[in-house]
Chains A and B, each alone.
Chain A
Amino acid sequence: MALLQIAEPGLSTAPHQHRLAVGIDLGTTNSLVATVRSGSATCLPDESGRTLLPSVVHYSEAGTVVGHAAQAEQSRDPHNTIVSVKRFMGRGLTDLPDASALPYRFVDAPGMLQLSTRSGVKSPVEVSADILRTLKERAEQSLGGELTGAVITVPAYFDDAQRQATKDAARVAGLNVLRLLNEPTAAAIAYGLDNGSEGVYVVYDLGGGTFDVSILKLSRGVFEVLSTSGDSALGGDDFDQRIFCWILSESRLSALGAHDTRLLLTRAREAKEALTEHTETRITAILSDGESIDLILDQATFHEISQTLIDKTLLPVRKALRDAKIGVDEVKGVVMVGGATRMPQVQKAVGALFGQPPLTNLDPDKVVALGAAMQADVLAGNKGNDDWLLLDVIPLSLGLETMGGLVEKVIPRNSTIPTARAQEFTTFKDGQSAMAIHVLQGERELVADCRSLARFVLHGIPPMVAGAARIRVTFQVDADGLLSVTAREQSSGVEASIEVKPSYGLSDDEISRMLTESLSNVQGDIEARKLREAIVDAQSLTEATRSALANDGDLLDASERTAIDAALAAVDLATQGDSTRIVNDAAAALSRLTDPFAERRMNRNIQRALKGHNISEL
């Protein structure tokens, strides 16, 4: 089916079933799931009609509760109610400036922190997976079938560790990730397609816990990200925190317990929301020691105490404009995304910087999920030839540690993805047989100021004098913005190579353990599920191969054709049986055989596309 996407325009394509694909906005404060139905994107509501799912998970002996019900437990049981877990994704305990102020029992673990709850120690990946699973179930109930895949959005400014953790969470939730999509880019799709926009647009995305800004060039059918910047630890939550601190100082309070802290943070959030529509609001609460709080907060005071936060968002905006080499006067419009952009002082500051009122015609809470749903629809292959091209970038430079604790940049920030870059290194000592490779992400010169993504050692370098070995280190960033690194010793014909997926987060074993644990089924069900999945995958492969043969069979000679036909028959036979291994082996054999065919077909299609292009040029 997917192969039909690249068939020559005008060729008839076999009718295919509409694949169920969704876009998921996994937010700090709220999460949403959306899909495209009869050509238009909509957010899917829960059984009470609510589309926003609070990103809150409550763990107790009675089980795991997600969303509104978990939110209700927040003040009563703060230790076991995890809010804003997105801030912990791909982060160690030392990365949190305010760990001691949070009501959680953190467990320091290599790579990523963990949380001790009443139902055991949880990784942020598992907590996020619980949120994703709730949305997956909502979507499957609402759409009446199993999902083919999902596009999950991430802040554009997320680094590799945070992206990897998000993808892992989706895997643990049993979702097939079609793509990780940057939130501002998703918003631009929803906005651009709705408005038929052309020109340079800025997406200002202030979410619950993250801030992103992306500069995009929109032209017919192409969304090109010119640059992106942001702060992955700045969002609406920080405005709540400012009000919270103001309450404390006004009421001369200090050292509150977890319960009172949570209560006042909730009141602070309510006050922030009230001040969007009203010039002042009343804050009342009764603390656990009986002390009552009754304050009036007006807009002017709120603006004053939050001014530095807004200024903090304008710096990445300037940086992104610089990187894109775009002047303020060249910007055609500024799209506001994220619930926090409802605050009037934010809109005012952005409007003043760009000299034009920002665009707020799409619901800032929903626009990311809607854009993700549109992209999921394309990636699942539900659209024909009228889809669009998305050219995104990596937000932060990638590099290697060199002598003296310095970082050598290998791929600069704002490179269009996918991208790869190779760099050669050599040995420092005579007879050196191993080399330590340390992969980093960030803009600073010193290793200590960048984020460490992975360390590995390349062994088996043949003994040579210092400087004679040629070690080629290749960085490959895929379309999800995820990095893999390969190192190869290539002098004297000896090749040693190792592939590393920077896993600040979890190993594959840990993922499958979580996946198994999350399926409360008995072993037999898991086996049955694996077989079913293998058959579905194998069938989609044979389906794709057959339509490829129908369209481009002439690219094969007779013996190649015979071999592929035989492999197809073998897969068909295997899918009638009940052995997962045989199905997988047969599919792998077919896939290997069709590799050269796939390459020839893709080349032919490119050739056709270019010819068409040249004709239209002339």
Chain B
Amino acid sequence: MTLDFSQDFFALFGQARRFGLDAAALDAAYRAIAAEVHPDRYASAPDSERRIALMHATRVNEGYQTLKQPLARARYLLQLAGVDTQEETNTSMPAEFLMEQMEWREAIADARADSHVEQLEKLSRELAGDLKALEAGLTEALDGTTPDLDGAAQLVRKWRFMEKLDQEIGDAIEALLY
């Protein structure tokens, strides 16, 4: 038996294929595999082994990043289930959500105009709270007894909006600090 690096990331790290994840178990599995394939282990090895190690380590890092981050993990699960998340094409969102987005943007713009770093940090924390709620929604939609994949795809698209907001807050903080 050999370890097949083309298998899906859940299988690669020996984790159940679901959204809810034991982060500590994933970390441990990642470290165990990374320790074996990291190019540092092959620094004095022949070229062929160095090349393979680079390839494997790259794949392992990609897998870990994909499973570790909730958004990437949800997107990946949907991809495995053959569901297109339509993040670029489907921009129709409930009016209520869009209103919230506009309020967020205004709050960020105001804090930025006032050079109010603490306010931006506060917004960042609030946003983190909203993301937790999205994560709970995804757990229900993906791991529930009757999975709602379309609903999950919608939550992924919402997350994308929230992620852009987080990016904006980060940029605003950096712009003010530098």
Interface presence of A476 (CB below 8 A) = yes
Stretch at the interface among A159-167, A333-341, A375-383: A375-383
Return the chain B residue nearest A544 by Cβ: B46
* Chain A residues, CB < 8 A from B83: none
Residue from A379, A380, A610 in contact with B32 in the complex, judged by beta carbons closer than 8 Å: A610
Given contacts A544-B45, A607-B1, contact A416 B65 (CB under 8 A): yes
Bitwise interface map of A from 475 to 517 toward B, beta carbon under 8 Å scored 1, else 0: 0101100000000000000000000000000000000000000
Given contacts A381-B44, A598-B52, contact A609 B35 (CB under 8 A): yes
Q: Is the CB of B40 within 8 A of A607?
A: no
Interface presence of A194 (CB below 8 A) = no
Bitwise interface map of B from 35 to 73 toward A, beta carbon under 8 Å scored 1, else 0: 111111111111111001110111001101100000000
Q: Is the CB of B44 within 8 A of A148?
A: yes
Interface presence of B31 (CB below 8 A) = yes
Residue from B28, B43, B177, B178 in contact with A2 in the complex, judged by beta carbons closer than 8 Å: B43
- How many positions in chain B have a CB within 8 Å of any CB in the partner chain? 41
Residue from B14, B39, B49, B56 in contact with A614 in the complex, judged by beta carbons closer than 8 Å: B14
The CA of A381 and the CA of B2, in the complex, are separated in Å by 25
Q: Is the CB of A610 within 8 A of B40?
A: no
Interface presence of B173 (CB below 8 A) = yes
Nearest-Cβ distance from residue A501 to partner chain B, whole angstroms = 14
Bitwise interface map of A from 592 to 608 toward B, beta carbon under 8 Å scored 1, else 0: 10110011101111110
Nearest-Cβ distance from residue B14 to partner chain A, whole angstroms = 7
For the residues of A in contact with B, the DSSP-based class is helix
The CA of A368 and the CA of B103, in the complex, are separated in Å by 49
Q: Is the CB of A319 within 8 A of B34?
A: no
Given contacts A418-B57, A419-B61, A591-B48, contact A179 B40 (CB under 8 A): yes
Q: Is the CB of A610 within 8 A of B177?
A: no
* Chain B residues, CB < 8 A from A598: 46, 48-49, 52
Q: Is the CB of B3 within 8 A of A607?
A: yes
Nearest-Cβ distance from residue B80 to partner chain A, whole angstroms = 18
Nearest-Cβ distance from residue B65 to partner chain A, whole angstroms = 7
Q: Is the CB of B31 within 8 A of A222?
A: yes
The CA of A610 and the CA of B37, in the complex, are separated in Å by 12
The CA of A379 and the CA of B43, in the complex, are separated in Å by 5
Interface presence of A322 (CB below 8 A) = yes
Bitwise interface map of B from 167 to 178 toward A, beta carbon under 8 Å scored 1, else 0: 000100110011
Q: Is the CB of A610 within 8 A of B34?
A: no
- 4 shortest interchain CB distances as A-B pairs: A379-B43, A603-B2, A2-B45, A2-B44
